[in-house]
């Protein structure tokens, strides 16, 4: 059940609200509008007064609601109308008028509009014009002339809605922490529907602004990217001429006067205000971290593979910074994705946006390498080559998102956990169309049977419990190809296979051959150490725990099973 508070102002605010509630709606969606509850239980009902003109009854109702406001005259508050739609989920049972009346009374009591037993409370009505929702309208002056105490009313009605869901057996929504982006209004939804658009202008703009933030390394580049994405921008300047903020609009999105509909960055999302964007650009600026020249897909994958470690080490500020960077990475993936996977990746990025926001301050410094690699891919998306780069990064992102879901669960971030889970589902769906072509390209270059037999022998010695599954996997030829490529680069097949196995256990991997393919392909790109370095590594390895023990130490028993989700 979703309550949403809207405030109205102006001399005719109450009459406008009543006119809307008992009217046909913006798309003729209002059917049988009528009162289900009111402050005095016998307020005039424009929807059920058959022997009177409905407009006259609506005037009478608005006058009665407005009486306490008019008594104050010029001392009346700026906002005089409190409007709260309360909507049930589509799968919820249809409530009766009496049940909706109880819901309304509980909502106005929780908000401080009309506490139980308070004879001098505000005047209010609840109007129903559909099976799944009601509208509560109240005037914000009590009958005794005082202002209602409605501190944190939005939070209070949300808590009461969670209790109502339990009492009536309705779908139980996840409690939030106040960091979610503002939802599109019903007016925006109707407008998108009239235009046969899948998303509202607010949602499209939020996606494009996030992509520009992810790709930009400076404020000037941020605005240039917005222009390149077809977004109109308008700076907000102060008396000194300094730019204090910005607004964005989509070409062709106009109001009834033919004027562009502008959204400020802060109304799209709290972290998209210009001061927040400037802070983010400063935190992840061009200095002092340097990234070696190389394949940005490999560098981004290496950074993404380190995210689970950051999420399990206990530094919450670093973990939050990693989640922000992971969200920017998901924003980029649709750019180079095949058409069959593009929509799912866009849905994943949109869902995971909620998982990047919490009350924990993000330390973005630790995520500079991932951000820099993402920016490099934005500038040169053609480096994806045979498609193995996006598949490799997506494989790492799947694991990172699974760990993000566990991290939010541990911190009792219910909405963020649900968002990460939803993103994971979309990523799993997108994985096949991205990974299968890349694996097929690799498999076509598979070495001969003698070489594959040697690799199978190495696997039998290293991981006997998984060797048979790996060899029988459809990705076995692709794995043999990347092992042969690594040997061609000077790597030892046994050693690089051991490194890949030590990165994470294969116990829960549904497709262990795929997991090893991407790990070895990335490891094979690394510089081959010289003899002295190899000797030092051998001495260091001798002092380390055995491979199974080390792998087990990286994933606590309470962690999710990320590989199972692939």
Nearest residue to 155 via CA among 289, 381, 4, 353: 4
Share above pLDDT 70 across residues of the chain, in percent, rounded to a whole number: 89
Q: In whole angstroms, give the CA distance from residue 367 to residue 289.
A: 10
Interval 123-158: pLDDT, tens: 999 999 888 999 999 999 999 999 999 888 988 999
Nearest residue to 200 via CA among 214, 183, 216, 184: 184
- Flag whether pLDDT at 18 surpasses 90: yes
Is the backbone of residue 96 left (phi > 0), alpha (psi -120 to 50) or beta? beta
Interval 280-290: pLDDT, tens: 887 655 544 44
- For residue 508, the model assigns a pLDDT of 65
Nearest residue to 107 via CA among 79, 128, 137, 132: 137
Chain CA centroid to CA 231, Å = 21
**Confidence class for position 540, pLDDT limits 50, 70, 90:** low
Q: Are strands 124-130 and 34-38 parallel, antiparallel or unpaired?
A: antiparallel
- For residue 216, the model assigns a pLDDT of 87
**Angle, in degrees to the nearest 10, between helices 201-215 and 339-352:** 90
Q: Percentage helix, strand, coil, to 5, in the chain?
A: 60, 10, 35
Is the backbone of residue 88 left (phi > 0), alpha (psi -120 to 50) or beta? beta
- For residue 292, the model assigns a pLDDT of 52
Nearest residue to 361 via CA among 264, 271, 244, 267: 271
Q: Are 389 and 395 in contact (CB under 8 A)?
A: no
Poorest-pLDDT segment among 36-40, 131-135, 175-179, 444-448: 175-179
Chain CA centroid to CA 511, Å = 28
- Flag whether pLDDT at 291 surpasses 70: no
């Amino acid at each position: 059940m979703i309550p949403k508070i809207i405030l109205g102002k102006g001399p005719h605010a109450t009459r406008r609200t009543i006119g809307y509630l008992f009217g046909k709606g913006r798309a003729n969606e209002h059917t049988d509008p009528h009162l289900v509850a009111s402050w005095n239980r016998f307020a005039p009902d424009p929807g059920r007064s058959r022997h009177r003109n409905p407009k006259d009854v609506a005037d009478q109702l608005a006058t009665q609601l407005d009486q306490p406001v008019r008594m104050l005259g010029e001392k009346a508050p700026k906002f005089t109308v409190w409007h709260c739609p309360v909507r049930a989920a589509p799968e919820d049972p249809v409530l009766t008028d009496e049940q909706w009346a109880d819901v309304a009374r509980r909502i106005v009591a929780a908000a401080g509009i009309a506490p139980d037993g308070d004879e001098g409370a505000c005047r209010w009505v609840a109007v129903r014009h559909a099976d799944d929702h009601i509208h509560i309208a109240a005037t914000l002056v009590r009958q005794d002339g005082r202002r209602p105490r409605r501190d944190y009313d939005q939070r209070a009605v949300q808590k009461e809605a969670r209790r109502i869901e339990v009492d009536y057996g309705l779908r139980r929504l996840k409690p939030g922490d106040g960091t979610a982006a503002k939802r599109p209004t019903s007016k925006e939804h109707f407008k998108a529907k009239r235009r046969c658009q899948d998303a509202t202008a607010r949602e499209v703009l939020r996606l494009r602004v996030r992509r520009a933030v992810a790709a930009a390394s400076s404020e000037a580049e941020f605005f240039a990217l917005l222009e390149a994405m077809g977004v109109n921008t308008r700076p907000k300047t102060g008396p000194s001429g300094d730019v204090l903020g910005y607004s964005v609009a989509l070409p062709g999105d106009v109001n009834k006067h033919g004027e562009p509909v502008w959204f400020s960055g802060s109304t799209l999302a709290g972290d998209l205000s210009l001061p927040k964007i400037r802070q983010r650009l400063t935190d992840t600026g061009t200095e002092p971290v340097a990234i070696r020249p190389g394949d940005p897909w490999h560098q981004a994958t290496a950074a993404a593979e380190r995210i689970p470690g950051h999420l399990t080490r206990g530094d919450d500020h670093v973990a939050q910074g990693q989640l922000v960077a992971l969200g920017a990475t998901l924003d980029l993936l649709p750019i180079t994705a095949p058409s069959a996977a593009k929509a799912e990746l866009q849905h994943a990025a949109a869902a995971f946006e909620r998982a990047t926001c919490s009350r924990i301050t993000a330390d973005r410094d630790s995520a500079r390498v991932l951000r820099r690699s993402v920016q490099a891919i934005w500038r040169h998306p053609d480096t994806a080559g045979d498609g193995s780069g996006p598949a490799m990064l997506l494989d790492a992102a799947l694991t990172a998102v699974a760990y993000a879901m566990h991290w939010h669960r541990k911190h009792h971030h219910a909405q963020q956990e649900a968002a990460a889970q939803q993103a994971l589902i979309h990523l799993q769906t997108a994985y096949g169309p991205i990974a299968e072509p890349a694996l097929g390209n690799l498999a076509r270059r598979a070495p001969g049977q003698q070489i594959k037999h040697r690799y199978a022998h190495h696997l039998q010695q290293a991981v006997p419990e998984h060797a048979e599954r790996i060899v029988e996997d459809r990705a076995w030829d692709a794995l043999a190809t990347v092992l042969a490529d690594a040997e061609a680069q000077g790597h030892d097949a046994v050693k690089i296979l051991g490194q890949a196995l030590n990165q994470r256990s294969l116990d829960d991997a549904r497709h262990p051959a795929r997991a090893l393919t991407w790990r070895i392909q990335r490891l094979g790109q690394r510089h081959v150490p010289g003899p002295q370095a190899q000797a030092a590594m051998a001495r260091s390895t001798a002092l380390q725990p055995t491979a199974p023990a080390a792998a087990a130490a990286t994933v606590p028993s309470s962690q999710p099973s990320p590989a199972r989700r692939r």
